[in-house]
Every structure is written in C-alpha cells, then in structure tokens.
Amino acid sequence: MSRPPLDFGLYLVTDSVQAGGWQNVAGIVEQAIAGGVTVVQVRDKHADDATFTQLLLSVAEVARPHGVDVVVNDRVHIAARFGFDVHIGQDDMPLHQARELLGPSPRIGLSVGSEAELDAVLDTTIRPDVLGLGPVFATSTKLDAGASLGITGLQKLARRAAQNSLASVAIGGITSSNINAVRQTTVDGVCVVSAIMSAENPRLAALTLSAHPPQVTSHTPSSFAPSPKEK
C-alpha cells in the first residue's frame, strides 16, 4: 500500500505534564504549527483512554486545518477507531498486529535504538512507514530511553534506513544547540518534546528549530503573525 510521503521536517511529540495539563496541549500545538511544526504526535502516558481521546481530538482540530499530520502514540485501538497514524515502540503492540488493526491506510512509525533492532525491521516483510531513531542524546523526558546513539550512531542507522527506502526521524535530547548536527545526518526529520512543550514561547521555539520556517506574508492570518515584540 503506498501512503503519500509526509514532511517530517519538524515533528512535535506532545507531553501533557510539560504543558501544565492536557487542556493546554492544543494551544501549544497551534502556536508550534505557526512556528513551523509539520507533524504532531499525541503522547500522554498517564491519561485514561477517554481523556486521551479528548486530547487527541482537540489537537486534530487545530492541526488538520493546516495540513499537519496527527499521530497517536502507543494506543493503536484509538488510532484505528478514528483513522489516525500511529507510533509504536519495541515494547508496544507488534507491527504486524498494528497493521492488521489499522488496515492499509494509516502510517505506522516504529522506534529503533540499535543496529540489531534495525536488522530485525529489515528482516520482516511488513515494513513501518518511518523509523524513530533514538535517543540521540540524553533526555529527561523519557526516563526509560536506552543508551544515547550520539551523532555517529544516528548517522549509521539513518544511512542504512535510507539505503533501504525507509524514512527516519531523530529523537531524544534535541535542542536548538545541537539540532544543526542532527540535520546534517541522513534523517528525514527531527522530533522534539521539551524543546517546544516546555518553551516559554512555543512559536518562537519552533521557528528556531524549523528547517523551513514559515514565511509571514500579507495573507498570514493575524493569529499566526509574530507579535510586535518578536519582529
């Protein structure tokens, strides 16, 4: 099944705790999209399914009008119910089972943190649509993240992914201070959580991290234009 390629350029993964509560997440996402975020994954490790669904739909409401893809973290059954894309890790539902539940259209992202995990992906006939490669650097957002890959480890995985026609994104400890080195690897995009979710100004944070910051024109809606202080 061919799914249209996505612009993974600046991929935001949400965190309701860093947002100060799940009700604040959609507002932060809206600002981050104005700053250049191209994909949003809704991740909340604490919410029950009903609350997660409310959160997901609130994010979709602000993302979809801008053509920004919305991805569900972990909860394949919720993604399947509403037809969203999904991201799963090595300890989540197996890829073949997720594909069976989702049907052919939604994209599936899969975490890969080592050469052995990439070997396993390349050995199977059912392929994910994108790999989440990480953690690149140490992170306090995900306490059970594995050993850091560093730029060299990331580049080895990203190169092999590309050689096998697999899209990849980098994740873990990425900030405005190290993002240039990450963008010099073969990854198709860069994921951040705290660099945007914990920022005082999520729009400015996204602008700083974006590979292609949005151009402000006379047609830019006023809610997306910079405030006089930022000009």
Ligand X SMILES: Cc1nc(C(=O)O)sc1CCOP(=O)(O)O
Annotated binding residues, written as ranges, equal 41-45, 73-74, 92, 111, 139-142, 173, 193-194
Candidates 7, 24, 54, 92; binder of ligand LCLJCK34 (CB under 6 A) is 92
How many of the chain's residues bind Mg ion (CB under 5 A)? 3
HEC secondary structure over 110-157: EEECCHHHHHHHHHCCCCCCEEEECCCCCCCCCCCCCCCCHHHHHHHH
Is residue 214 within 8 A of residue 35, CB to CB? The reply is yes
> Residues 133 to 162: which contact ligand X by CB under 6 A?
134-135, 139, 141-142, 145
Instruction: Using the minimum distance from each CB to Mg ion, give the nearer residue, 35 or 132.
Output: 132
For the annotated binding site for Mg(2+), the residues are 74, 92
Q: Determine if 75 is a binding residue for ligand LCLJCK34 (CB under 6 A).
A: no
d(C-alpha 56, C-alpha 44), whole Å: 10
Interface positions, 2-21, toward ligand LCLJCK34 (CB under 6 A) = 13
Minimum Å gap between C-beta 155 and ligand X is 16
CB of 183 to Mg ion, least distance (A): 25
| Phi, psi (rounded to 5 degrees) for 201 | -130, 95
Residues 91-120 that bind Mg ion (CB under 5 A): 92
Shorter beta-carbon distance to ligand X: residue 17 or 216: 17
Give the position of tokens 């024109």: 217
Report the C-alpha gap between 45 and 222 in whole angstroms: 34
CB of 189 to ligand LCLJCK34, least distance (A): 9
Segment 79 to 138, residues that bind ligand X, using CB under 6 A: 111, 113, 132, 134-135
At closest approach, how far in Å is the CB of 97 from ligand X?
A: 20
Number of residues that bind ligand X (CB under 6 A): 18
Q: What are the residues binding ligand X (CB under 6 A)?
A: 13, 111, 113, 132, 134-135, 139, 141-142, 145, 171-174, 192-195
